Amino acid sequence: MIARKGYHNTRIADIASEADVGLGTFYLHFKTKNEIFIELIDYGAGDLREELVKAKAGIHDPAEKLRLTINTILDAAARAPESFRIVFGHGPAFLDLMVRVHQTFIDDLRIDLEPAIGSQADAVAHLTIGMLSQAITWLLEREDLSLAELKETTVNFALGGLERAARPDVS
């Protein structure tokens, strides 16, 4: 509903009606619309994180983990564009929430990359998640965009950066 109507145009009564619960029941669980919004984002981010953990299980190569991270996140955005529009469509109003969600994925990616690039892993993880965030925004805006091409381009760009970061003596 929030994806359809937008955060600001969705009333608590709309949410309660869609969930087939009374307003009193809604308020037993959430004090504000903002609380349910945050809960939805946290739930979705948790699901995506679990998907990433499963995708990377048993993989030891940092480059392959990077490839899987990019592909899994872009596939999720293509699979559930409405959910990603909720997250990416509210600009500065939810900046703290976005920073917190991004930080979770940055931390996971930093851990994946540290064996290959050591102290540069934090910077590369930040840059990669930032790049993915913009790629998702672009994917959501352009129906004509090829998911396969976007994934390939993003992976190749990120792997090129990873390769350079692994060889800091090359300028």
Do the domain assignments include residue 156? yes
Do the domain assignments include residue 89? yes
Do the domain assignments include residue 171? no
Confidence at residue 58, expressed as pLDDT on a 0 to 100 scale: 95
Contacts of range 52-60, beta carbons closer than 8 Å, 24 or more positions apart: 52/105, 52/108, 56/112
- Given a cut of 70, is residue 90 above it in pLDDT? no
Check: CB of residue 106 under 8 Å from CB of residue 129. Answer: yes
Confidence at residue 163, expressed as pLDDT on a 0 to 100 scale: 78
Confidence at residue 91, expressed as pLDDT on a 0 to 100 scale: 61
| Among 11-20, 102-111, 122-131, 144-153, the least confident range | 11-20
Instruction: Kindly state the average pLDDT of the residues 16-23.
Output: 87
Of residues 37 and 59, more confidence is placed in 59
Instruction: Kindly state the average pLDDT of the residues 87-105.
Output: 79
- Given a cut of 80, is residue 105 above it in pLDDT? yes
123 and 90 co-located in one domain = yes
End-to-end CA, the chain: 50
Q: CA 162 to CA 58: how far, in whole Å?
A: 20
Q: What is the pTM of this model?
A: 0.79
Question: What is the overall mean pLDDT for the chain?
Answer: 87
- Given a cut of 60, is residue 166 above it in pLDDT? yes
Domain count, the chain: 2
23 and 47 co-located in one domain = no
